Amino acid sequence: MNPIAGILLIAIGSIGAASFYVPFKKVKSWAWESYWISQGVFAWIIIPWLFALIFIPQGELIPVIRESPSSAKLMAMFFGILWGFGGLTFGLSLRYLGVALGQSIALGLCAAFGTLLPPIIAGDNLFSTTSGILMVIGVAITVAGIIIIGYAGSLKSKEMSEEEKKAVVKDFALKKGILIAIFAGIMSACMNFGYEAAKPIEEVALAHGTNPLFQKNPSLIFILLGGFITNLIYCGFLNIKNKTYKDYFTVSGNLFMNNLFFTFLAGLLWFLQFHFFGMGSSKLPPSMAVFGWSILMALNIAISNIWGIILKEWKGVKTKTIVVLIVGIVILILSTFVVKLG
């Protein structure tokens, strides 16, 4: 076990997670549902299989999948479907709030609920132990941070003209965006349940000689397949309803390849958070295992807000608003560590 190496690997993944929405800025003439499901094909279908084929010993991936318990595969997919609602609405929250505000709210809640829900479902009394009490305190601090960031968002909404809002976030809608981000954060926590359900798959992978660094890669095939199903249904519905299925056929060949490349890049960055999280968590001792999830979420929040500044999402607001935003971000990041102190 090497906790420092584990945290560094998770940090690399967080850079991908916080940056995945940036390539969408280069996608032209496609509706949101068209480019979202395009990146989903890469992030949740093609890339998980590609990485598993690369990092699982040659010729062993299919035997690992075949020998893994059906119950583990089905439950991993089930939680993946639930997580898919989080991933889907997460994308919508960024559409309506921008990278900085959307990620801060959604990921803060994801860190809190991803920590709090498992022991509650297991029947643990959180107030009977120091660690349980710290979890509850951490969640309370998370909510406080979210409220402060939400307040910064309301100040931003009041201070910026409609033209300024649309210039940096095309579909900016504060109230709708915050509600969607809250739902996204809660449902995204189901990824942790997917990892737990897929433990038997990891054991089979290890038995077939898989390096412990990559033991979660076969599990991701099933978890992310579940997420893809959710997103495919919704985006397919929107493609038909809005007749945006034509997006794929009405653009020029060069623009189609441009959009395909940048949605692939977005999908790769999205997937890397889970790949490096799997690598990093394998380096953490059992007592710190869930701490890795907290590190991932905290760094995602920090880096996404750096991107928010770079992309000028907060351009034109008063200094007070920026200070409120920074205070909320700091509180949110601290909460993810408090949750894990126990």
DSSP states along 275-334: HHHHHHHTTS-GGGHHHHHHHHHHHHHHHHHHHHHHTTTTTT--HHHHHHHHHHHHHHHH
How do residues 295-318 score in pLDDT, each as one tens digit?
677 777 777 777 777 777 777 788
* Residue range 144-169: mean pLDDT, rounded: 71
> What confidence tens digit (pLDDT) does each residue in 232-245 have?
999 999 999 999 99
CB 216 within 8 A of CB 68: no
Spans of all domains in the chain: 29-263+297-338
What average pLDDT does range 165-194 have in this prediction? 76
Q: Identify the residue whose tokens are 């690369």.
A: 54
Contact at 8 Å (CB) between 215 and 206?
Answer: yes
Q: Which amino acid is at 204?
A: V
Q: How far apart are CA 304 and CA 61, in angstroms?
A: 34
Query: Which of 247, 106, 245 lies closest to 177 in space, CA to CA?
Result: 106
Listed range (19-23, 33-37, 92-96) with the worst mean pLDDT = 92-96
pTM higher than 0.95 for the full model?
A: no
Q: What does the pLDDT read at residue 252? A: 92
The pLDDT value recorded for residue 128 is 77
Phi-psi category of residue 315: left, alpha or beta, with phi > 0 → left and psi -120 to 50 → alpha: beta
Per-residue pLDDT, 136: 76
Q: Which of 43-57, 93-107, 141-155, 157-171 has the highest mean pLDDT?
A: 43-57
Indicate if the pLDDT at residue 161 is higher than 80: no
pLDDT at 257 over 80: yes
| Structure-block tokens of residue 79 | 């939680």
Which of 308, 312, 316 shows the shortest CA–CA distance to 160?
316
Residue 22, pLDDT score: 84
Confidence of residue 123 (pLDDT cuts 50, 70, 90): confident
What token pair was written down for 312?
């000028």
CA distances from 180 to 43, 174, 183 (A): 22, 10, 5
Residue in 55, 61, 74, 52 with CA at minimum distance from that of residue 225: 74
Would you say 160 and 317 are in contact if contact means Cβ atoms under 8 Å apart? Answer: yes
Position 269 scores a pLDDT of: 93
> 282 near 28, Cβ under 8 Å?
no
What tokens appear for 21 in the block? 């929405």
Higher pLDDT, 155 or 61: 61
DSSP state of 128: G
1-5, 174-178, 207-211, 224-228: lowest mean pLDDT where? 1-5
